[in-house]
Amino acid sequence: MTSVEELKKLKIDFPTEEKIIGYKSFYNRVVKRIIDFILALIMIIVLSPLFIVVSVLIISDDGFPVFYRAQRGGYKNKPFRIYKFRSMINNADKIGGGTTALNDSRITKIGSFLRKTKLDEFANLFNILRGEMSFIGPRPELLQYTDQYEGVERYIFEVRPGITDYSSDVFINLDEIVGGENADEMYEKYVLKNKNALRVKYAAEVSFRTDVKIFFKTVLDVLKKAFGFIFKKEHRG
């Protein structure tokens, strides 16, 4: 695994504009949406008992609401409200910055578990069903950053934001990179441009083969991280 210091030195190049062609494909424009809708509908039905359990745990730990909903930059540069199972205290975004710091005090007890196991992001299925997100695609970003996209970065808007993409693998331990202080500043300095380069890379290479590859890589990474948290007690305060 790449160390935090190595990630801070990372410099990922943006694809050249002539290579950004994947987003134009029939797969991206039509087929991908059909697959997303069918799979999301099936998963919501199958996982509904788990959603109920998670909801009860959140309410018993920190009350309502169950979902965290905040605006993110979306497909064709249309903002949308993302669904996530709430892992922070109420009004957390008004207390601190938009980037979650290492051992962030705003994270609830159940929220820590939801984040480490990625269960908080299962609520993204509702966004996928509504056509606002996809299973695979650039992680949706805060409007304060998407409003600043320029040049080839604007190709990010040509694919639906997703639950996972190339950057999810590289920055799976994002909280360790941004540290416990000045998380927003550290994110902007070490992460944002590299993430955007990987987001543009996805827009350039989107295909069924690419999506399958990213999907299985993400599943493996998440299982490793969840195993480490649950059984080895990694990253616990």
Locate tokens 């694809």: which residue?
15
Residue 98 confidence (pLDDT): 82
Which one, of 11, 19, 4, lies nearest residue 202 by Cα?
19
Residue 94 confidence (pLDDT): 78
Q: Is the dihedral of CA 20, 21, 24, 28 positive or negative?
A: negative
Residue 223 confidence (pLDDT): 82
Q: Which residues contact 30 (CB under 8 A, 6 or more apart)?
A: none
Question: What HEC string does the chain produce?
Answer: CCCHHHHHCCCCCCCCHHHCCHHHCHHHHHHHHHHHHHHHHHHHHHHHHHHHHHHHHHHHHHCCCCEEEEEECCHHHCCEEEEEECCECCCHHHHCCCCCCCCCCCECHHHHHHHHHCHHHHHHHHHHHCCCCEEECCCCCCHHHHCCCCHHHHHHHHCCCEEECHHHHHCCCHHHHHCCCCHHHHHHHHHHHHHHHHHHHHHHHCCHHHHHHHHHHHHHHHHHHHHHHHHCCCCCC
- For residue 207, pLDDT beyond 80: yes
Q: Which residue has the higher pLDDT, 91 or 48?
A: 48
Residue 139 confidence (pLDDT): 93
- For residue 155, pLDDT beyond 50: yes
Residue 57 confidence (pLDDT): 96
Give the type of residue at 76: K
Residue 4 confidence (pLDDT): 67
Task: Identify the burial level of 123 via C-beta atoms within 10 angstroms of its C-beta, where 0-12 means exposed, 13-18 middle and 19 or more buried.
Answer: buried
Number of other residues whose CB lies within 10 A of the CB of residue 126 = 17
Lowest-pLDDT choice from 50-59, 101-110, 111-120, 169-178 = 169-178
Residue 59 confidence (pLDDT): 96
Yes or no: say if 75 and 132 are a contact pair by the CB < 8 Å rule.
yes
**Per-domain residue ranges of the chain:** 4-229
Please state the rounded mean pLDDT for residues 158-163: 97
- Residue 168's pLDDT band (boundaries 50, 70, 90)? confident
- For residue 154, pLDDT beyond 60: yes
Q: What is the pLDDT of residues 93-135, one digit of tens each?
A: 778 788 887 788 899 999 999 988 889 999 999 999 999 999 9
- For residue 237, pLDDT beyond 60: no
Lowest-pLDDT choice from 17-21, 186-190, 204-208 = 186-190
- For residue 235, pLDDT beyond 50: no
- For residue 26, pLDDT beyond 50: yes
Tell me the two tokens of residue 171.
């920055």
Instruction: State the Cα–Cα distance between residues 161 and 138, nearest whole angstrom.
Output: 5
Instruction: State the Cα–Cα distance between residues 74 and 88, nearest whole angstrom.
Output: 23
pTM greater than 0.95 (yes/no) = no
Instruction: State the Cα–Cα distance between residues 47 and 52, nearest whole angstrom.
Output: 9
